[in-house]
Amino acid sequence: MTSSRWIALAALALTCSTPAMAKDWKTVTVAMEGSYAPWNQTDASGKIVGFEVDILNDVCARAKLECSIVAQDWDGVIPGLTAGKFDIVMDGMSITEERMKTIDFSIPYASSPVAFLADKNGPLAQMSNTGKMIDLSKDDAESKAALDTLRKELTGKNVGLQVSTTEATFADKYLKDVANIHEYKTTDEHDLDLMAGRIDVAFADTTYFLGTLAKPDAKDLEFVGPQFKGGPILGPGIGAAFRKTDKDLQDIYNKALKAALDDGSVSKYSMQWFKIDITK
């Protein structure tokens, strides 16, 4: 084939695909899971709505970007981002050192400690340190003691969490040798299995569980054990993810996000979706 034919072919492919071609970033494609309520969830009409959608719309309006959302299962968001299927990921993703090796993050727009959810009437309802916040970045005696207790109490238990999350890394480090870890594709699936009794405890972000507890069929569930935040595994907060090569897009996004955080818009969305301000 001659090179002009190749160009024609490429041009054809260009016109019928959604390219991330905008050199001056007019249009961007943003991936969300669409089933991580209330961060991003699908409503009955099939539209993705939620806390992160509101932030995105705000940021895009400020940055004069045309943003479109695509649904992408969680286990494909980072490979999809690096492969170029979309330009930004907003999916309650914690900023961690491990992920920073592959991708870049915006400034954090929320913080959400991780927590455990279990059956009110089950054996784990009496876990110690319930409601206590453990900051792993301090790495002090208190956090060590809390982790030891946690390991003891979860020994032999079935723990459900979402694949490829900070919770999974946490469990890999602290729980793998004592508990049975079940990795799910979505957080909804471990909720369903917790209600069905296949797992003893579900492990995810506090903010996500607030959404779970608001659902009518979750009336028998409650938070158990301590909450954890910070440190190299859990990271400083939640941000939007970018390819390492797209520094320019990241700068545009950060500038707009900073403005939205400063004037209290993001806090307002947080109150709407979570009833608490999680930007702090």
Bridge partners, 204 (sequence order): 115
Length of the chain measured in residues: 280
List CB contacts of 123: < 8 A, sequence separation 6 or more. Answer: 200
Candidate segments 82-90, 115-123, 147-155, 256-264, binder of other proteins by CB under 8 A? 82-90
Tell me if 164 contacts other proteins by CB under 8 A.
Answer: yes
Q: Is 70 in the site for other proteins (CB under 8 A)?
A: yes
The site for other proteins, by CB under 8 A, has a size of: 58
Tell whether residue 19 is a contact of other proteins (CB under 8 A).
Answer: yes
CB of 182 to other proteins, least distance (A): 5
Q: If we measure between CA atoms, which residue out of 141, 89, 94 comes closest to residue 113?
A: 94
Q: Which of 26, 43, 97, 138 binds other proteins (CB under 8 A)?
A: 43
Which of 99, 160, 91, 100 shows the shortest CA–CA distance to 124? 160
Q: Which is nearer to other proteins, 137 or 245 (CB)?
A: 245
Strand 27-32, strand 88-89: pairing: parallel
Alpha helix ranges (H) inside 136-230: 141-153, 166-174, 187-196, 206-214
SS3 call for 224: strand
Residue 90 is a binding residue for other proteins (CB under 8 A): no
**In this complex, which beta carbon is closest to other proteins, that of residue 45 or of residue 280?**
45
Candidates 28, 30, 41, 167; binder of other proteins (CB under 8 A) is 41
- Of 115-123, 185-193, 231-239, 268-276: span binding other proteins (CB under 8 A): 185-193
Q: Which position among 13, 61, 125, 276 is part of the footprint of other proteins (CB under 8 A)? A: 13
Closest CA to 193 of 155, 168, 221, 167: 221
Q: Does 251 bind other proteins (CB under 8 A)?
A: no
Is 119 among the residues that bind other proteins (CB under 8 A)?
no
Closest distance of CB 27 from other proteins, Å: 12
Regarding 62 and contact with other proteins (CB under 8 A), the answer is: no
Q: What is the dihedral of CA 61, 251, 55, 271, to 10 degrees?
A: -130
Using alpha carbons only, give the angle 271, 272, 275 rounded to the nearest 5 degrees: 45
Question: How far is 149 from 169, CA to CA, in rounded Å?
Answer: 19
Contacting other proteins within 214-233 (CB under 8 A): 215, 217
Contact call for residue 135 and other proteins (CB under 8 A): no
Q: Select 3 or 121, whichever has its Cβ closest to other proteins.
A: 3
Q: In whole angstroms, how close is the CB of 166 to other proteins at the nearest point?
A: 13
**Contact indicator for 74, 186 with CB cutoff of 8 Å:** yes
User: Which region, judged by CB under 8 A, interacts with other proteins, from 44-52, 107-115, 138-146, 222-230?
Assistant: 44-52
Q: Is the Cβ–Cβ distance between 230 and 137 less than 8 Å?
A: yes
Rg of the chain in Å (alpha carbons): 20
Residues that bind other proteins (CB under 8 A): 3, 6-7, 9-11, 13-14, 16-21, 23, 29, 34-35, 37, 41-46, 70-73, 75-76, 78-80, 82-86, 102, 163-164, 182-186, 188-189, 191-193, 196-198, 215, 217, 245
